[in-house]
Amino acid sequence: MNEATTRRDYGSPDDHEAFVMSERQHRCYWADIGLSLGAILMPAGAILDWFLYPDAFVHLLAGRLIATVFLVAGLLTRQLWSAGKLFSPVSFLLVFIPGAFMCWMMYATDAGQSRYYFGLILLMIIVQMLGFSATEALVCCLSLITVYVGTLVMADGVSVLSTDAAIEGCFFLSVCTAACVTVCYTYRKNRFEAYCLNQDLVEKERQRRESILQLRDTEQQLVHSEKMRAIAGVAAGLLHEINNPVNYSLMAIKVLRKRLAKGKDPSEMIADIEEGVTRISHIVTDLRSFAHPEQLAVRTDFVLIDAVTTAIRFLTHELPDGRVKLDEASLRATVSGAQSQIVQVLLNLIHNGERAIRDFQSSQQEHAAERQGSESDATNRRRHIHVSAVCHDDHVTVTVADEGIGMDESQIAQATQPYFTTRTGEGLGLGLGICDTIVQAHGSSIQITSTPGQGTRVEFELPLATDSRSPAALSKQAVSGIPPGSSLASTQNS
């Protein structure tokens, strides 16, 4: 669809107050220039009178001074009449008065042969600069021609209209009138089109801003929806986690009652109940942090393995025993960041790893069924998710590697893009995109390497806590088995 069909119909230029005001300002600007030049050039033209018509010099000088007074008065009072509806008539008079004076000078000199005839042509050129509409320009130019013809008739009678000088003068003034009207029409039309285009741009900019705000609201709703889906996904695991200490505490209360009835020491049972309730409190705190994470600008120092274990605790119901292998020694590094946000990153990466392993196993089972039920060693071999870290001088590289189905290059390139997912009907594809945003806020980015059929490795960096960057702290880490720049091979089941 071309521009002419998509542009809105703005109607007549006079229907737009903003355009009318801009035209008035345009005309005021040129009126200032015209009045100022007229007030200077009108009396200065007396020099020309002295050399061309010395006999009529006094009369011409008096006329010039009268015209100058009108021009100066118009210039001094412009602020009064330019702000109201009298602007067009007054600006018309500012052209007509000098034109009438020039016709009078022609009458006082050689009439149709007077050299002041060219002043009328100059006035028509000036009309083109004043921002008149085509109708105003036509009225102004016809008025000048009428006064010109009247001057010739008053000087030499009606018969002068049939002379070559009169016909030639009227012809050139008519040509100038046609040119003046055409220029004024085109100039005003172009200014109105420019105004319409500017209005279109303003409207499109308004729509663009509204669209951006709407997209932001929609994105926030989608992110919230994704978060709620994730919370719903871990709810079963949390219920299981809470149910165990609740049952444990209830059992301890029953035993406590029996001991109290027999007069035995209740301190051991009270400690067991306290342990169960404390465990429930930690689970609820973790859930609150996950549902309402702290702002990325809020940074605290925390031990990396605490965030990892929290993320695993959320996924207990989805992870088979022994699925996650932790390099506990390297994960004891103290980092700086928003802990609840990092928990979200680790939870998403571990969850993705589990789903990748399940996808791989499903794929292998389908292939085995096609081969008449003979399962391969790859299907039987237990696959894991490895979480480890590598300490450097001022940061820690965290790695989550799974032995799942893997991704090809095109999938890797789009993995962190919003709304990209390889699992139809499972989420909105915002997980890794949100993770990448969180990691970028910590001064790093998510790096993904993967081989189809072998697994995926995801790495990101976190800044070390300030105290952990000192040579003494790094030396202590090396003694405890965390040499800078290397990860430990020892792993334990989660």
User: What is the reported pLDDT for 479?
Assistant: 38
Q: How many CB atoms lie within 10 A of CB 180?
A: 24
User: What is the reported pLDDT for 491?
Assistant: 34
389 compared with 259, residue with greater pLDDT = 389
What are the tokens at 459? 């790495």
pTM beyond 0.85, yes or no: no
pLDDT category, 472, cuts 50, 70, 90? very low
For residues 399 and 326, give the distance between their C-alpha atoms in angstroms, rounded to a whole number.
10
Once rounded to an integer, what is the mean pLDDT over residues 15-33?
79
User: What is the reported pLDDT for 335?
Assistant: 92
Whole-number average pLDDT of the chain: 77
Taking alpha carbons only, the member of 36, 12, 19 closest to residue 131 is 19
Is the confidence at residue 430, as pLDDT, over 80? no
What are the tokens at 265? 């020491």
Name the least confident of 63-72, 103-112, 221-230.
Answer: 221-230
Once rounded to an integer, what is the mean pLDDT over residues 346-360?
87
Q: What are the boundaries of each domain within the chain?
A: 11-208, 296-493
> Which range has the top average pLDDT, 103-112, 114-123, 155-164, 180-189?
180-189
**Percentage, residues of the chain above pLDDT 90:** 8
DSSP code at position 295:
P
pLDDT in tens, 71-86: 888 788 877 766 666 5
Is the confidence at residue 99, as pLDDT, over 90? no
Taking alpha carbons only, the member of 355, 375, 393, 404 closest to residue 469 is 393
Once rounded to an integer, what is the mean pLDDT over residues 434-448?
85
For residues 282 and 390, give the distance between their C-alpha atoms in angstroms, rounded to a whole number.
28
- Give every CB contact of residue 451 below 8 A, 6+ residues apart in sequence: 406
Collapse the DSSP code of 11 into the 3-class scheme (helix H, G, I; strand E, B; otherwise coil) and give the result.
coil
For residues 278 and 129, give the distance between their C-alpha atoms in angstroms, rounded to a whole number.
86
Q: 143 and 99 in contact (C-beta within 8 Å)?
A: yes
Name the least confident of 75-79, 229-233, 359-363, 442-446.
Answer: 229-233
54 compared with 424, residue with greater pLDDT = 54
Q: 453 and 405 in contact (C-beta within 8 Å)?
A: yes
pLDDT in tens, 270-293: 877 777 787 777 667 666 665 555
User: What is the reported pLDDT for 401?
Assistant: 93
Gyration radius (Cα) of the chain, Å: 45
Q: 394 and 464 in contact (C-beta within 8 Å)?
A: yes
Q: 295 and 460 in contact (C-beta within 8 Å)?
A: no
Is the confidence at residue 320, as pLDDT, over 70? yes
pLDDT category, 122, cuts 50, 70, 90? confident
User: What is the reported pLDDT for 5?
Assistant: 43
Is the confidence at residue 459, as pLDDT, over 90? yes
Once rounded to an integer, what is the mean pLDDT over residues 36-54?
85
> Which range has the top average pLDDT, 82-91, 111-120, 202-211, 379-388?
202-211
Is the confidence at residue 398, as pLDDT, over 70? yes
Is the confidence at residue 475, as pLDDT, over 60? no
User: What is the reported pLDDT for 428?
Assistant: 36
Once rounded to an integer, what is the mean pLDDT over residues 462-480?
59
Name the least confident of 2-16, 117-131, 216-230, 397-411.
Answer: 2-16
**DSSP bridge partners of 303:** 334
User: What is the reported pLDDT for 460?
Assistant: 93
For residues 448 and 458, give the distance between their C-alpha atoms in angstroms, rounded to a whole number.
5
Name the least confident of 71-85, 166-180, 385-399, 454-468.
Answer: 71-85
What are the tokens at 460? 């990101």
Is the confidence at residue 30, as pLDDT, over 70? yes
pLDDT category, 399, cuts 50, 70, 90? very high
pLDDT in tens, 134-161: 888 888 889 888 888 888 888 888 887 7
User: What is the reported pLDDT for 291?
Assistant: 57
User: What is the reported pLDDT for 338?
Assistant: 85
Is the confidence at residue 206, as pLDDT, over 50? yes
CA 326 vs. chain centroid, Å, equals 43
Angle at 118 between CA 112 and CA 121, to 5 degrees: 115
Main-chain phi, psi angles of 309, to 5 degrees:
-65, -35
**Percentage, residues of the chain above pLDDT 70:** 77
Taking the CA atoms of residue 471, residue 474, residue 480 and residue 482 in that order, the dihedral angle to the nearest 10 degrees is -150
Once rounded to an integer, what is the mean pLDDT over residues 377-401?
84
DSSP line for 221-247 = HHHHHHHHHHHHHHHHHHHHHHHHHHH
Name the least confident of 19-33, 205-219, 441-455.
Answer: 19-33
User: What is the reported pLDDT for 85?
Assistant: 62
Q: What is the CATH number of domain 296-493?
A: 3.30.565.10
For residues 214 and 200, give the distance between their C-alpha atoms in angstroms, rounded to a whole number.
21
User: What is the reported pLDDT for 290?
Assistant: 58
Is the confidence at residue 131, as pLDDT, over 80? no
Is the confidence at residue 429, as pLDDT, over 70? no
